[in-house]
Amino acid sequence: MKEAPGDRKEPFVGVGLRPVHYPHLLGRPRLAVKWFETISENSMDSEGRPLEVVLKMREEYPIALHGVSMSIGGVEGPRPGYLARLKTLADRVQPFLMTDHLCFTGAHASNVHDLLPLPYTEEAIATVARNVGKAQDVLKRQIALENVSSYLTYRESVMPEWEFLVAVARRAGCRILLDVNNAYVSAMNHGFAPETYLDAVPAELVAQIHLGGYTDTGKFLFDTHSRAPTDPVWELYRRVIGRMPETPVLIEWDEDIPEWAGLEAQAVTAAKIAEEERGRQPA
Amino acid sequence: MADSPLEAVQRRFVRSITFLNDPEFVAGVSGGGKLTAEEAVDVYRRGYPARLTEALGETFEACWRVLGDEAFFAAARDYIARTPSLSYNLSDYGATFPEFLESRPDAEDAPFIGDLARFEWAYKEMFHAQPHEPLAPEVLAAKARPDAVLRFGAAARILVFPHRVYGLWRRDRANDAPLKPSDWEGAERLILYKRTGTSVFVRSLAAPEHEALAALRSGRPLQEALSSVEGLTADDVKDLFVFLSEAGVVTEVR
């Protein structure tokens, strides 16, 4: 198994591992990407093809496990058995990072399979912190939580999203998966400056950066992961990566997924920007 | 005990997505962009059936093909409205969809639809099943004494259906000729199994083969199980053991 380098002298850019690219990747081509991210739930309860491919790719690449169903912000916490199964998967894959979303995904046994935003309140911070504690105890490792795109805000929120995100990470003792696209989408939807958001997140808390594409519906920005990052998102990424040049970066693409070359080209762009920003750092 | 504010808001949000917009929840939120609060809740509300329909479509792809878009999506919509998703894993959704399809008027023209859906569910479960460690063919041959009891691995499942659904499942997607009763009439016996790796194999079984495998699987000793099957010839027994060896479905002989 190849481990993620501790001292990253080059940009560490990866992409999401998706079935449409399995045939190409299993041919063991030379790749510009340095690592892969895989959706945890696709392999947690299955001995099928996705797990087989993850384990095969893991022989040559570092892999991060990215969950969508931990429901870390749910008052009921992760569902019984979820963390134990995730731990079993982690023991097999040996990921360099485990992440999920700062949200909840259901309530009272009903699962809506969506990343529902939380109100930015003290109770929500305490709830997430309690659940993160349980998760990290079972998983025996620190996790990172991703800021989600949102299409509504709660009137009961008492702080802006970025304060909530940082407070959760500090209180819970976890790290942040900073999705630059999500920050942009939420900023445009809710009318704040994305720069304010991103500048407020301390570099030492960020374990990974996500980049993806949204759809402009005309009424709101929708986080569809169906296209390449847009120019404003690339510009924000440049601003972020300049502050944290060694942070792993991931290109996410889940709908209308292009051929491998198209996806890899986005990773190359992300690496190039990271390299340029490294060049600007004082020696 | 009363809900905490967070618990109340989560319960109302989920209810607004899976059932009806909760006015109290809508009043407590603001829409993003140019969305009203109600429209913003609808963004989440629309995503829920879309994801569950996609999950049903993936698992029950052949049923979808047979019923066509209109009937399949109508069935999915009605099923989702009355069947909440209880698992974090979308792939777990639809365990009772076969019986639901069977109960609908569409089943009059497609009386096999429940069996086809049950086959697809079983195939999906086999796809995700943990492969077992098969007994080496030479060990199976050496231990197969008359009083031996064979233990089958978990990644092997024997199925019997009143309708012939395997052919429908395998049917070429480009073949849009209307189905005739002769395409599905008659019982079907199958074994689904994993050999090595993740591929799922399906083998059609003749009635005596099925009876013999079912007897063996139930734990009856070899000779007793095989001799109880009417119409099973010596050649059939030989073929059955060649299959058991090659397929690796036996994990232990006692």
Residue A108's pLDDT is 73
Q: Taking the C-alpha atoms of A169, A174, A177 and A180 in order, what is their torsion angle to the nearest 10 degrees?
A: 10
> Using CA atoms, how far apart are residues A90 and A69, in angstroms rounded to an integer?
15
Cα–Cα distance, A166 to A102 (Å, whole number):
11
Of B54, B77, B110, which closes a domain?
A: B110
> Domain span at residue B1?
1-110
pLDDT at A8 over 90: no
Give yes or no: residues B147 and B91 share one domain.
no
Cα–Cα nearest to B153, from B180, B123, B131 = B131
Q: Which amino acid is at A109?
A: A
Q: Which of B179, B254, B200, B193 is nearest to B222 (CA)?
A: B254
Closest alpha carbon to B54 in A38, A123, A114, A15: A114
B139 and B254 fall within a common domain: yes
Whether the CB of A45 is below 8 Å from some CB of chain B: the reply is: yes
The structure tokens listed for A50 are 């996705």
A104-107 vs A110-116, strand pairing mode: antiparallel
Contact: B28, A154; criterion CB under 8 Å:
yes
B171 with B58, same domain: the answer is no
For residues A261 and A266, give the distance between their C-alpha atoms in angstroms, rounded to a whole number.
9
The pLDDT of residue A3 is 76
**Candidates B89, B91, B125, partner chain A, best to mutate (most A CBs within 10 A):** B89
Contacts of residue A183 in chain B, CB cutoff 8 Å?
Answer: none
B103 and B135 belong to one structural domain:
no
Query: Does some domain include residue B118?
Result: no
Each residue's pLDDT tens digit, A168-208: 999 999 999 999 999 999 999 999 999 999 999 999 999 99
What digits encode the pLDDT tens for the residues B35-47?
Answer: 999 999 999 999 9
A63-72 average pLDDT score: 97
pLDDT number for residue A280 = 79
CA–CA min distance B76, chain A (Å): 16
Find the helix or strand (DSSP H, E) in which B74 lies. helix B61-82
Indicate the average pLDDT of chain A. Answer: 95
Cα-based distances in Å from A133 to A67, A140, A201, A279? 17, 10, 21, 39
């990644």: which residue's tokens? B155
Side-chain-side CA neighbours of B87 within 13 Å: the count stands at: 12
B141 within some domain:
yes
Give the residue among A26, A101, A107, A90 at the shortest CA–CA distance from A60.
A26
Q: What is the dihedral of CA A271, A272, A273, A275, to 10 degrees?
A: 90
Instruction: Please report whether residue B102 resides in a domain.
Output: yes
Domain boundaries, chain A: 13-279
Same domain membership, residue B54 and residue B104: yes
- Please tell me the predicted confidence (pLDDT) of residue A283: 61
Domain A13-279 fold is TIM Barrel (3.20.20)
Low pLDDT (below 50) residues in chain B: none
pLDDT given at position B180:
93
- ipTM score of complex: 0.93
Whether residues B248 and B154 fall in one domain: yes
Q: What's at B202, amino acid-wise?
A: V
State whether B140 and B248 are in the same domain. yes
**Could you tell me if residue B124 is inside a domain?**
no
Identify whether residues B92 and B2 lie together within a single domain: yes
The residue with greater pLDDT, B106 or A15, is: A15
Type of residue at B120:
E
Residue B55 lies in a domain: yes
Instruction: Tell whether B184 and B155 lie within a shared domain.
Output: yes
Query: Closest partner residue to B48 among A74, A112, A123, by Cβ?
Result: A112
Domain count, chain B: 2
A106 contacts chain B (CB < 8 A): yes
- Mutation pick from A49, A111, A190 vs chain B, by most beta carbons of B within 10 Å, is A111
A190–B51 CB contact, under 8 Å: no
CB A4 within 8 A of CB A35: yes
CB contact under 8 A, B5 and A121: yes
Q: Is B26's Cβ below 8 Å from some Cβ in A?
A: no
- Residue B91 shares a structural domain with residue B187: no
Tell me if B136 sits within 8 A of A56, measured CB to CB. no
What does the alpha-carbon distance between residue A94 and residue A88 come to, in Å, rounded to a whole number? 10
Q: What digits encode the pLDDT tens for the residues B202-220?
A: 999 999 999 999 999 999 9
Question: Same structural domain for residues B165 and B254?
Answer: yes
Over residues A99-117, the mean pLDDT reads: 93
Beta carbons of A269 and A250 less than 8 angstroms apart: no
Same domain, yes or no, for B102 and B65? yes
pLDDT tens-digit map of B4-28: 999 999 999 999 999 888 999 999 9
Q: Does residue B117 form part of some domain?
A: no
Query: Over the Cα atoms of chain A, what is R_g?
Result: 18
Q: Is residue B140 part of a domain?
A: yes
- Other C-beta atoms within 10 Å of A122: how many? 13
User: Based on the number of CB atoms within 10 Å of its own CB, is B105 exposed (0-12), middle (13-18) or buried (19 or more)?
Assistant: exposed
Query: Which tokens hold the place of A150?
Result: 């949102």
In a domain, B121, yes or no: no
The CATH number of the domain holding residue B243 is: 3.90.930
